[in-house]
Structure 1
């Protein structure tokens, strides 16, 4: 074979290989991955027997869906009403749900199988909420409905994914604590609910927002709501408004107890103590204790000068009466490390004009050596006699420094080594702090002309954009509230209808049949501007009582 012939053969083979690759490449072209996420739950295509069948006598029900699905929490989510002695059997076959009825059904009775949130597609987990299959063993199907909305009174928002339960009055009044309901619905994204195919009768209605999803009220942190009025169901009932709230537990219970790495004792409770007190069973330890309760009196921190004990018994009191006694144990080999640190009322290193410098230590302070404090104004040291250090009479962790702070000056404050000695005898390392006086134009004045609807007690609260309370005032008549020297930012107004006249919001109680105190949130946002006094009219609407 000549050289040219060999070259032509090689080229022909190369072209053949390229053609094969191209052919196979084209044959395996695939659709690009990705695309819009499936947000649609399974859809019922066919039911056998059909949904809403009368004179029902089947033993097996088949529900065919448009896609593959899975069943979640069968025995928690799926209920049949009226209840049956033997629960049906549920199984998935391809895209079909097979229901085998195990019990004899009552004559002339409407049955509702509620699937709750049990049915979800396989890939994305989209849930088919509040799907029901209805049938009647007689010629009539119950058709009454109950509908309404669920609201959180604190935020005034409508709550989604809340279980609304309709309980026949003849059942135990604490049914919701013992057994999941047979008649229920889950609120949609707008907080609305609807229960259909209901039988005439008398009912109580509850709303439950939980984390364990067992449809039983069994945890202190769950939210519950109810109506005091009985629902006499003989026609469609609409516009029911349920407020969900966290109840105050009946009994004080410790949630957490510990001795921290720095030696302080810390306790957390399931509720606040109205008039709290502490007594340590050892008289010597009791005499030296320093107790600090949290704002809601549901936490307690105890500082002891000495930790020379194997165990300690701490009794918590309300109005001087014992509520609970808690024992903590430690090893004599345990050691504790502490380092004194300070907090200041200088957000962003700016002190509010006209304010004193407030300082808070992380441990109770036994002594302060003022001579070890240095203060400079624009690098010029301030004479010790020109500023005062004033301890807080009721809190040994707090003190203030008074000085004629001036604008456009930079201040350097140093608590040099050994300025503080805490109750344990520890002394501080050097603690420097730099700050300046904030500009007056960053603050403004707000005047609220508050009009009340009638005689009563109202708590007017000024909140920041994070819903943190800035100030609270109790009023009993229409009056003017003046807020001097407030930071120029946005605020909004919250009003509590203070039914029991205690100056704060109180939750409800199912046991006592009391609703939470009502709240009104002004829709208008208040914006304070530099060098500008703002006057706003606040007209409190008449209170609407819950049913």
Structure 2
């Protein structure tokens, strides 16, 4: 009897040990990290302006993905000195800076989708942390949609951002917007924790991740009228178009009939004025949105560059800055006698069909034509007209 009882107990213990040791698995972690606390008081108001860091604690180990590209701080805080974690997972985020914060201002730290747990990479989506150096948190928002005007396909991953600039006498688009946020993959954007005011809104494709619009390199969309934020605004629609390259003077060089001036970009309008006393009679030709300008003058009649290189100076304005302001450009000009005037027919030959206009091409500017000595002959006939 004792032997039987001993065998039953031994078998039970053996079965129990087997169950403990077997790899039965468990439920997969599908929860994003949870906020626990911060070094800033839970009310998040009346935060001292001389505070130099933000620490946010979570309930598990986290990693930060492309934090330098994904983190947007509005208004911008300059001189960020440290962001933790960098390469090693941690249970907190630490951001340190040198700047003194503005008075009575709500700061929003928008982490986008950069925060994820270390085990399963569950993302804490669109996480924001806001606090105020004043006695209240600004709580207005602006939202809407952004679309690429020239694309019918939705991008699998876009780099679009939307920013607000405070409307002042001048707006410096070479600086980061006062408020900025990323556009999600469905084209939706939302700017949160805004103060009441009047803003200029801009959307652009932030290719290099610097949060600043780079003209000529990135797609851009504006709204003509400012956005007046007295209460929250929703339903805005912005379309992005390829941006124009900024107009920039490149060079001048001798060309048949005068001088050729070229630009980077395509100016709508160009004004040019010779600054040399010798050139008194001249013509300027420029087709709208063309990158080149022709300055026509008679070098022989003006006695310019006939025996040696001559420094010619010009004032120009290519629709940049004030229109009454002229920028200086110059070249060492030497007349090339080989650049003779060349005239050709633009009708594909010497023969004209009935009622067809006679067209000519010239490599020089033609402002007057004397037809007194022209001769026209009817084909197959000796009749001259």
Considering Cα pairs closer than 8 Å and 6+ residues apart, tell me whether 1 or 2 has the greater RCO.
Answer: 2
Native 8 Å contact 1:150 1:191 kept in 2: yes
CA distance in 2: counterparts of 1:82 and 1:248, whole angstroms: 28
Structure 1: how far apart are the matches of 2:259 and 2:100? Answer: 64
SS in 2 for 1:390: coil
Asked whether the 8 Å contact 2:202–2:222 carries over to 1, the reply is: yes
Residues 1:392 and 2:360 are matched in the alignment:
yes
Correspondence list, 1:113-512, <5 A: 113-115=109-111, 119=114, 131-134=126-129, 144-150=140-146, 161-167=159-165, 172=168, 174=170, 177=173, 179-196=175-192, 198=193, 201-209=196-204, 213-216=209-212, 223=220, 225-226=222-223, 228-235=225-232, 237-242=233-238, 254-259=248-253, 265-268=260-263, 272=267, 274=269, 278-282=272-276, 287=281, 292-296=285-289, 298-302=291-295, 308=306, 309-316=309-316, 323-329=326-332, 365-368=341-344, 390-392=358-360
**Number of residue pairs matched by the alignment:** 300
Separation in 1 of the partners of 2:175 and 2:225? 21
Q: 1:246 to 1:135 in 2, by over 3 A?
A: closer
**Aligned partner of residue 262 in structure 2, secondary structure:** strand
Q: Is 1:95–2:98 an aligned residue pair?
A: no
The question of 1:49 aligning with 2:49 is answered: no
1:284, 1:109 → 2: CA distance? Answer: 62
> For structure 2, which runs of at least 5 residues remain unmatched after alignment?
1-30, 48-52, 117-122, 300-304, 367-385
Q: Deviations over 1:399-425 (max 9, x none)?
A: xxxxxxxxxxxxxxxxxxxxxxxxxxx
Deviations 1:210-254 (A, max 9, x none): 66654446758774524635433444x2112346679999xx964
TM-score (norm. length: structure 2): 0.52
Asked if the contact 2:146–2:237 (Cα under 8 Å) also holds between the matched residues in 1, the reply is: yes
Instruction: Give the superposition deviation at 1:321.
Output: 7.4
Task: For residue 397 of structure 1, report the CA deviation from its aligned partner.
Answer: 8.7
Query: 79-88 or 205-214, which moves further after superposition?
Result: 79-88
Could you say if the C-alpha distance between residues 305 and 47 of structure 1 is closer, same or farther in structure 2, counting changes exceeding 3 Å? Answer: farther
Q: Which runs of 5+ in 1 are unaligned?
A: 1-42, 122-127, 339-362, 376-383, 399-547
- Could you say what secondary structure the match of 1:72 adopts? helix
Structure 1 residue 293: deviation in Å? 1.9
SS at 2:358 equivalent: strand
Hey, which of these two has a bigger chunk of strand by percent? Answer: 1
- Separation in 2 of the partners of 1:85 and 1:53? 23
Q: What is the SS of the residue equivalent to 1:49?
A: strand
Secondary structure at the counterpart of residue 176 of structure 2: coil
Aligned partners of 1:86 and 1:315: how far apart in 2?
41
Q: Is the 1:53–1:136 Cα contact (8 Å) retained in structure 2?
A: no
CA contact (8 A) 1:165 1:206 kept: yes
